[in-house]
Amino acid sequence: MQRPLLAAMLVGIALPAAGPAAAADLDPAALLEDARLFFEPIPLAAPVPDGNVLSRARIDLGKSLWFDPRLSRSWVFSCNSCHNLGMGGMDGLPASIGHGWAQGPRNSPTVYNAIFNAAQFWDGRAADLREQATGPIEAAVEMANTEERVLATLSSMSGYVDMFAAAFPGEDEPVTFSNLAKAIEAFEATLITPNSPFDQFLMGDIGVLDEQELRGLQAFIEEGCITCHQGVNLGGQEYYPFGLVERPGADILPEGDRGRFEVTRTAIDDYVFRASPLRNIAITPPYFHSGAVWDLETAVAVMGVAQLGADLSDEQIADITAFLRTLTGEIPQVEFPVLPEMGPDTPLPEPM
Ligand code: HEC
Ligand code: HEC
């Protein structure tokens, strides 16, 4: 079976004439119509998460919590340590380093646009950002803290007590772990990167992509990448075996990390991972949950073989990579907050 056909069947739509011949007659207007079937631009305003409120006070509190290393037992790690907002929202390491300088098992995904993912983590084990937010604070290899100690820390600083009261008006005891999660989620909802060249194209500015980028978009659709990478984040929605057609080597897909199998304990989820969101992919190397691949061209070639059984030509790889570079959006300007002062009862940092 031909690959474009397979892709069309998987996606359930009829594709226009596909294959190498189609690349020759590049029609930007028709390509825009196709692209609009699969992709959506990032909205200009932050989406409001269910059951949350994006008030100024709540976003500001979330921002302080995001940057505050005193949420960690050692006072060394903040959320920003591993999701550096000045560096694409990740740490640039193959696998993150946390408490006790221990290396975790996986690469840190970007937090930019994470709000648009159907579930969080490489294996989707957290339903949303709110559920995700308290995980790293308590994880032994990340911030190694406890709920009790975090609440004692926050309650000991009058600055935080006031901020929680303003962010959660009318509540008798606003300093809670679940309110902390809500505030972090509210801040994370603002971490979106609209207006990438591809978004401008989707909004109708056909001239913004050059010929190579258009060819890359066409190949991305026709070769079947869209089967798994679609929607506003070009991924982040569904789960697939990494190695659907051909399993990559253990350097790229380490045997010890079985992905969603660890979450569901069912055989069909062995080595299944969330199809990665591809927004800002050019600025977030290294790639894959193992962080084993440093350049985007190689990551594209690996995907071709592993997920599609396709030996993409050098030209196709260059074209697709050029298209992926158009997914880099406007990174929001975030001002580093002045954090509340410690009080007389603040629990002191513990050596790692
Ligand atoms: C020591 C490094 C480290 C720290 C500190 C850390 N994270 Fe992470 N974060 C990671 C890694 C690694 C993953 C991926 C883990 C996985 O998929 O199993 C991750 C995943 C995430 C995700 C999921 C993104 C996605 O696309 O799935 C979000 C959101 C996130 N972290 C937010 C936070 C917040 C909020 C904090 C602070 C409370 C924080 N992180 C602290 C390393 C860290
Ligand atoms: C059958 C589903 C599927 C298809 C088809 C597919 N991918 Fe993927 N893609 C995934 C999954 C799953 C991952 C996560 C792999 C992992 O666990 O590291 C991924 C990861 C990636 C990554 C790395 C993202 C990161 O943040 O590290 C890139 C880049 C990528 N895909 C591009 C492509 C391109 C380009 C194509 C077409 C040639 C393609 N993919 C086809 C499912 C797919």
DSSP-derived pairing of the beta strands 239-241 and 272-274: antiparallel
Q: Which ligand is nearest to the CA of 233?
A: 1
Is 334 among the domain residues? no
Cα(155) to ligand 2 centroid in Å equals: 43
pLDDT at 3: 45
Ligand 2 atom with minimal separation from the 241 CA: 12
| Among 131, 142, 211, 350, the one annotated catalytic | 142
Residue 16 domain boundaries? 3-42+194-325
Please indicate, yes or no, whether the overall pTM of this predicted structure exceeds 0.85: yes
CA 346 – CA 286 distance, rounded (Å): 38
Q: Does the active-site annotation cover 142?
A: yes
Which residue among 61, 72, 77, 142 is best mutated to probe the pocket of ligand 1, counting the most ligand atoms within 8 A of its Cβ?
Answer: 142
Is 17 among the domain residues? yes
Cβ-based neighbours of 160, under 8 Å, separated by 6 or more: 61, 64, 154, 175, 340
Last residue of a domain, one of 158, 189, 220: 189
What phi, psi does 74 have (nearest 5°)?
A: -90, -15
Ligand 2 atom with minimal separation from the 110 CA: 26
Cα(225) to ligand 2 centroid in Å equals: 8
Last residue of a domain, one of 189, 214, 230: 189
User: Contact 260/106 with Cβ under 8 angstroms?
Assistant: no
Question: Cis bond leading into 286, ω under 30°?
Answer: yes
Same domain, 95 and 181: yes
Q: Which ligand is nearest to the CA of 83?
A: 1
Ligand 1 neighbours, Cβ below 6 Å, are 77, 79, 81-83, 96, 98, 104, 106, 108-109, 111, 114, 117, 120-122, 129, 132-133, 136-137, 142-143, 184
Is 51 among the domain residues? no
Q: Which ligand is nearest to the CA of 79?
A: 1
Cα(108) to ligand 1 centroid in Å equals: 6
Domain count, the chain: 2
The structure tokens 């050029």 sit at 322
Cβ-based neighbours of 12, under 8 Å, separated by 6 or more: none
Is 10 among the domain residues? yes
Same domain, 101 and 134: yes
Q: 272 vs 33, 78, 94, 223, CA distance in Å?
A: 32, 29, 19, 21
Is 167 among the domain residues? yes
Same domain, 36 and 144: no
Same domain, 198 and 179: no
CA 155 – CA 351 distance, rounded (Å): 22
Q: 256 vs 97, 142, 161, 208, 299, CA distance in Å?
A: 18, 19, 43, 44, 21
Cα(52) to ligand 2 centroid in Å equals: 31
Same domain, 151 and 100: yes
pLDDT at 24: 56
CA 260 – CA 90 distance, rounded (Å): 22
Which residue among 106, 225, 226, 280 is best mutated to probe the pocket of ligand 2, counting the most ligand atoms within 8 A of its Cβ?
Answer: 225
Q: 348 vs 30, 71, 77, 111, 144, CA distance in Å?
A: 62, 11, 14, 29, 14
The answer, yes or no, to whether any atom of ligand 2 lies below 6 A from the CB of 302, is: no
Helix (H, G, I), strand (E, B) or coil at 90: strand
Same domain, 80 and 175: yes
The structure tokens 């699969």 sit at 38
Same domain, 245 and 271: yes
Same domain, 139 and 208: no
Cα(121) to ligand 1 centroid in Å equals: 7
Walking along the chain (352 residues) 10 residues at a time, the average pLDDT comes out as 45 48 74 98 96 98 98 97 98 96 95 97 94 93 95 98 98 97 98 98 97 98 97 97 96 95 94 97 98 98 97 97 98 97 97 92
pLDDT at 195: 98
Same domain, 170 and 254: no
Amino acid at 335: E
Same domain, 198 and 177: no
Same domain, 96 and 167: yes
Helix (H, G, I), strand (E, B) or coil at 39: strand
Residue closest via CA to ligand 1's atom 11 equals 108
The answer, yes or no, to whether any atom of ligand 2 lies below 6 A from the CB of 225, is: yes
Q: List alpha helices for 259-304, DSSP H.
A: 261-264, 296-303
Which residue among 237, 260, 276 is best mutated to probe the pocket of ligand 2, counting the most ligand atoms within 8 A of its Cβ?
Answer: 276
The answer, yes or no, to whether any atom of ligand 2 lies below 6 A from the CB of 228, is: yes
Nearest-CA neighbor of 285 among 272, 301, 298, 271?
Answer: 298
Is 49 among the domain residues? no
Is 350 among the domain residues? no
Same domain, 78 and 180: yes
CATH number at residue 160: 1.10.760.10
pLDDT at 25: 76
